[in-house]
Amino acid sequence: MNRLQANALLTLAAMIWGSSFVVQQIGTGELGTLTFTGARFLLGGLVVLPFALRQFSRVNGSERAFEPLDWAGMLLTGCVLFTAAALQQHGILRTTVINSGFLTALYVPLVPVIGLILLKRKVHFSIWPASILCFLGTFILSGAKEVELAVGDLWVISSTIFWSSHVILVGILASRTRAPLVVACIQFLVCGVVGLGVGFLAESPTLSEIWGAGPGICYIGFFSVGMAFTFQVVGQRYTPAADAAIILSSETVFAAMGGMIFLGERLSLFQLSGALMILAAISLVELLPMSALGKARSLE
């Protein structure tokens, strides 16, 4: 798979995530967020499991043997994924949708910063202006004129540290193991088991609540988790984490489109300019490294 195909997979993942915002808004019923998160990830893991077992058998038998460090990394990735989702959901309940959507986009510039500081990874110079452009575009698309921080915002901000860490971990493990489906499956199962365990302890869900959220769990579990997150892991084997973060941020554009189509929401021209800024940031990451200027700057 070449980088262009990998980026197409990441874009498709963002498209599915964006459409899932509508389902998550109307399909959770009375079920608590922790239980809902655990259930959808566990279902996603079970969807990917047959394909992961097949890939594990092939890679472990003929390419490279899986090591304890691989399993530890996948376990850590699943825990980071659950922490990010839980902190974000907890914060969303205590702040506005505008603030949560805007602040979550902080993970985009955090990915190259963490990679540079902790992993000493150099990134293409186009990442920095593209990250800023993407961040500003998300702010404009959210319709916000200003952001007044509340307690819930701090929870959302803390989740971005884990979202950015998750993107980096996925990229490392997908390349290291050469088995992106195995990485996807294990992190889903870990996130699902932890989520359901914590959810049952903290939320005490009833069978009727679980049944009521069943359609939403099935849709999100199959498409958003089983398909989209798997596309992310596969795509990140061939795309740098910083680039992937910017491409995946286009989910906000697709979420806005879903709201317009299915919920009758409308965007102003000012908000549409934010969507164009996000798409411009993605184009910058895609095209500039292939240009003569981009190649010359990369050699400096």
pLDDT in tens, 174-196: 999 999 999 999 999 999 999 99
300 is a domain residue = no
- What DSSP line would sit under 114-145, residue for residue? HHHHHS-----TTHHHHHHHHHHHHHHHTT-S
Mean per-residue pLDDT, 2-31: 79
293 is a domain residue = no
pLDDT at 217 over 80: yes
Q: Mind listing the pLDDT tens digit for each residue in 232-271?
A: 999 988 888 878 888 887 777 777 776 677 666 676 777 7
Rounded-to-integer distance, Cα 251 and Cα 257, Å: 10
Q: Mind listing the pLDDT tens digit for each residue in 24-64?
A: 656 677 888 889 889 999 999 999 999 999 999 999 988 88
Residue whose token pair is 């299915």:
262
97 is a domain residue = yes
21 is a domain residue = yes
52 is a domain residue = yes
CA quadruple 179, 184, 185, 190: dihedral sign: positive
215 is a domain residue = yes
pLDDT at 214 over 80: yes
Q: How many domains does the chain have?
A: 1
pLDDT of residue 227: 92
pLDDT of residue 143: 66
Residues 230-268 as b or e (16 or more Cβ within 10 Å = b): bbbbbbbbbbbbbbbbbbbbbbbbbbbbbbeeeeeeebe
**Among 290, 253, 295, 296, residue whose Cα is nearest residue 275:** 253
157 is a domain residue = yes
pLDDT at 14 over 90: no
Tokens standing for 25?
Answer: 């808004």
149 is a domain residue = yes
Range of 194's domain? 3-288
